[in-house]
Amino acid sequence: MSSAEIPKITNQEIKAFEQDGVVCLRGLFKDVWLERLRSAIDWNIANPSSMATGSFQRGNFHLDVFMWTRNADFRAFAFESPVAAIVAQILKTEKIHFLFDHLLVKEPGSIKPTPWHNDQPYWPVQGWNICSLWLALDPVTKETGGLQYIKGSHQWRKSIREKNNLVEAVADSKSLELLSWDMAPGDCLVHHALTVHGASGNASTSTRRRALATRWVGDDVTYDPRPETFISYIKKLGIKEVNSINSLHAGASIDCDLFPQLWPRT
């Protein structure tokens, strides 16, 4: 990928991410990437990993993780698309490591909401420069399961696992502001790993809500294998890259085959 192909993120967009904990970026991914990912999603639904079973499926809500280790198109998106370069600009860090990819498909009629939460409590890392890029592959509205964020909630610096009762707190508070966007395919959201967010179910009878979230960390992030993170069950995946985490130590760099450095390009 040449420098001419790297989207330029504006200072205003970076400032919005830093202040609000989330920013919506429009049309940064070419159709060729969207088509490759849609085909890859069809493949994944037909060939889910062991992590896409049990608590990872709720009705017509299909989730899976670490697809890049099993599918060339998901791998190409992480390793070859502009995604790592976009995140590096947002986080303002010299290097970027790829934590994992996360598929979230809400089929029409999948009405169960995604409870309020933030992401970092589930991940084996510590630090501040941690974010997700959530790419829309279908038109997204509140009706189809669009994300909502509590503005500035990353600054609380609190771990919040899934909580339905936060909905009442948000609704009753005049001091909290919710952010959400209607999105077109190719638009993306970049949110901080501590920004509290949730989503409605997909009440549409015809529109799918396919999204790919990729998770990223920057310069200041270290490995933290506390038991409540996905490290406790990651070995279920049965992939060769998972063995590389055995060389990691708490408080050290996360650099390994499972969490590769993808920016700068090597």
Question: Could you tell me the residue ranges of all domains in the chain?
Answer: 11-245
Assigned token pair, 215:
């998770």
Which helix (H) or strand (E) segment holds residue 151: the answer is none
Cβ atoms of 105 and 82 within 8 Å: the answer is no
Contacts of 217 (CB under 8 A, 6+ apart): 96, 97, 99, 125, 127, 129, 130, 254, 259
Instruction: Work out the number of other CB atoms within 10 angstroms of the CB of residue 60.
Output: 16
Residue 57: the pLDDT is 42
Burial of 62 from C-beta contacts in 10 A (0-12 / 13-18 / 19+) = buried
Task: Report the C-alpha gap between 61 and 263 in whole angstroms.
Answer: 32
Write down the pLDDT at residue 168.
55
Residues 6+ apart with CB under 8 A from 194: 21, 118, 119, 120, 130, 153, 154, 156, 157, 158, 159
Whether the upstream peptide bond of residue 264 has omega within 30° of 0, thus cis, is yes
pLDDT in tens, the chain (266 residues): 655 589 999 999 999 999 999 999 999 999 999 999 999 999 999 999 988 853 344 448 899 999 999 999 999 999 999 999 999 999 999 999 999 999 999 999 988 888 899 999 999 999 999 999 999 999 999 999 999 999 999 999 988 887 655 655 565 566 789 999 999 999 999 999 999 999 999 999 999 999 999 999 999 999 999 988 998 788 777 899 999 999 999 999 999 999 999 999 86
CB count, 10 Å around CB of 45?
15
CA 173 to chain centre: 27
What contacts 233, CB < 8 A, 6 or more positions away?
A: 51
- DSSP conformation class of 154: G
Kindly report the CATH number that applies to the domain delimited by 11-245. 2.60.120.620
Q: How far apart are the first and last CA of the chain?
A: 12
Give the separation between CA 123 and CA 229, rounded to whole angstroms: 5
Tokens representing 183 are: 């999105």
- φ, ψ (nearest 5 deg) of residue 130: -135, 130
